[in-house]
């Protein structure tokens, strides 16, 4: 039997107290960088005069402000804090919530895969604690919620019961009626299989996204691409990730994830336009040669032009280049501008006929005159 280790502390004051429930439930699955941010907030909670800012926190932990924001939103999704925002979308305040005891959380999150009682579904966005980014209202707000009977029947089915159990494990929390309504929407209206829905949550959570709004946006994008199996979704996800890293590397921006606007461009090129990675990289190469700096806008203009020309392969792009060069060569050559003859000057000193002289004849006359003069002498 291993010898136990005794743990004690030599201090009793100036300490930050963290409930045991945090270590039991939240610590095991929390990202290390996210954990630093939460502990830092707890540290300075006892000193309200301490000025907090995204840039200040980012500098302390050698992160970007986007990294800090992602950490705060993660803890908000876990229910441990609440964010409020200014009109411009920037974070205005952070309110730390109390951590529920382990016993109450265990009883509330226990899941029986054989029988799950589904409460009546309301189409509300949730309590005030889950306002702003944590609302679980589906992105397509015009969609009518399903009835409690439909959700209960779904939760009693084999697919529904297993899905609910697995998704709760991914999210680390029990599902709300609105969450169940959204999941049933994936299953019933979008026609997603159980495996595809499982991978949908696995993919989103592994990338740090646990908000149901984000998950639904991904589901809708997959539906637009007519993805029906988990294998197709994996292939699409891998293609997108490869495209992101390849584009950033081509622009000399490796070593980081694409920003939101950059990812939107790459999504547009790969999913909406349907270009291959090789052709996207060719557009990036031409961008660097033309403007000598990374420009997603310039690359987008190149790819939009290729799309309008129907050029989706390198052969078609080269043919389009050749056709454009030929068009320039065959365009009419501009005639050089003719120099207009200047009008006679109106100066009165030039208003007479200029005389012309035969200098050769004058030289002969001058030579003859000189000879005649010599003969007279």
**pLDDT per residue as tens digits for the range 88-134:** 778 888 888 888 775 544 433 333 333 333 333 333 333 333 333 33
Q: Decide if 359 is inside a domain.
A: no
Cα 243 from Cα 280, distance rounded (Å)? 8
Which pLDDT does position 296 carry in this prediction? 93
Q: Decide if 14 is inside a domain.
A: no
Q: Is the pLDDT of residue 147 over 60?
A: yes
**φ, ψ dihedrals at 96, nearest 5°:** -80, 130
Closest CA to 289 of 277, 302, 278: 302
Closest CA to 311 of 342, 339, 345, 286: 286
Question: Residues 179, 246: one domain?
Answer: no
Cα 147 from Cα 122, distance rounded (Å)? 9
CATH number at residue 85: 1.10.10
Mean pLDDT of 329-353: 60
Which pLDDT does position 280 carry in this prediction? 93
Question: Residues 92, 26: one domain?
Answer: yes
Q: Around Cβ 219, how many Cβ atoms within 10 Å? A: 25
Structure tokens, 360: 């050769």
Cα 170 from Cα 202, distance rounded (Å)? 7
Residue-averaged pLDDT of the chain: 76
Q: Decide if 121 is inside a domain.
A: no
Question: Residues 204, 247: one domain?
Answer: no
Total residue count of the chain as it appears in this document: 377
Of 43, 76, 100, the last residue of a domain is 100
Question: Residues 315, 244: one domain?
Answer: yes
Q: Decide if 217 is inside a domain.
A: yes
Structure tokens, 218: 């991904």
How far lies 82's CA from each of 78, 91, 96, 98, in Å?
Answer: 10, 10, 6, 11
Mean pLDDT of 314-322: 92
If one compares 129 and 203, the residue with the highest pLDDT of the two is: 203
Structure tokens, 299: 């690359």
**φ, ψ dihedrals at 150, nearest 5°:** -65, -45
Question: Residues 244, 221: one domain?
Answer: no
Q: Decide if 356 is inside a domain.
A: no
Question: Residues 217, 272: one domain?
Answer: no
Q: Decide if 362 is inside a domain.
A: no
Question: Residues 212, 151: one domain?
Answer: yes
Of 228, 253, 285, the last residue of a domain is 228
Q: Decide if 141 is inside a domain.
A: no
Question: Residues 195, 259: one domain?
Answer: no
Mean pLDDT of 347-363: 61
Q: Kindly report, residue by residue over 270-312, the tens digit of the pLDDT.
A: 878 888 889 999 999 999 999 999 999 999 999 999 999 999 9
Q: Is the pLDDT of residue 50 over 60?
A: yes
Q: ∠ CA(84), CA(85), CA(91), 5° rounding?
A: 95
Of 75, 100, 125, the last residue of a domain is 100
Question: Residues 244, 200: one domain?
Answer: no
| Counted domains in the chain | 3
Q: Decide if 251 is inside a domain.
A: yes
Domain span including residue 44: 20-100
Per-residue pLDDT band for 199 (boundaries 50, 70, 90) equals: very high
Question: Residues 191, 263: one domain?
Answer: no
């Amino acid at each position: 039997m291993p010898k136990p280790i005794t743990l004690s502390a030599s201090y009793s004051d100036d300490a930050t107290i963290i409930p045991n429930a945090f270590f039991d439930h939240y610590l095991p699955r929390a990202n290390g960088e996210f954990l630093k941010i939460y502990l830092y907030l707890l540290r300075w909670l006892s000193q309200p005069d301490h000025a907090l800012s995204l840039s200040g926190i980012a500098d302390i932990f050698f992160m970007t402000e986007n990294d800090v924001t992602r950490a705060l939103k993660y803890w908000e999704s876990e229910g441990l804090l609440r964010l409020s925002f200014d009109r411009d979308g920037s974070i205005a305040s952070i309110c730390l919530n109390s951590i529920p005891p382990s016993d109450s959380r265990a009883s509330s999150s226990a899941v029986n895969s054989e029988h799950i009682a589904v409460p009546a579904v309301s189409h509300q966005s949730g309590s005030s604690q889950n306002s702003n980014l944590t609302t679980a209202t589906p992105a397509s707000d015009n969609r009518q919620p399903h009835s409690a009977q439909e959700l209960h029947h779904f939760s009693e089915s084999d697919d529904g019961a297993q899905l609910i159990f697995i998704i709760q494990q991914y999210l680390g929390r029990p599902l709300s009626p609105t969450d169940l309504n959204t999941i049933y929407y994936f299953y019933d209206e979008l026609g997603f299989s159980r495996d595809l829905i499982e991978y949908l949550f696995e993919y989103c959570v592994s990338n740090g996204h646990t908000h149901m709004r984000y998950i639904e946006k991904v589901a809708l994008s997959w539906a637009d691409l007519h993805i029906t199996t988990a294998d197709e979704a994996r292939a699409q996800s891998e293609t997108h990730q490869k495209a992101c890293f390849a584009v950033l590397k081509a622009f000399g921006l490796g070593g980081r994830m694409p920003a939101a606007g950059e990812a939107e461009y790459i999504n547009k090129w790969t999913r909406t336009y349907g270009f291959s990675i090789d052709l996207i990289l060719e557009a990036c190469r031409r961008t660097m040669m033309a403007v000598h700096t990374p420009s997603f806008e310039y690359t987008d203009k190149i790819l939009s032009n290729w799309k309008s020309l129907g050029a989706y392969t390198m052969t078609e792009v080269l043919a389009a280049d050749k056709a454009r060069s030929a068009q320039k060569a065959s365009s009419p050559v501009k005639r050089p501008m003719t120099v207009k003859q200047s009008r006679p000057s109106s100066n009165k000193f030039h208003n007479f006929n200029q005389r012309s002289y035969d200098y050769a004849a004058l030289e002969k006359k001058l030579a003859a005159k000189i000879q005649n003069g010599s003969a007279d002498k």
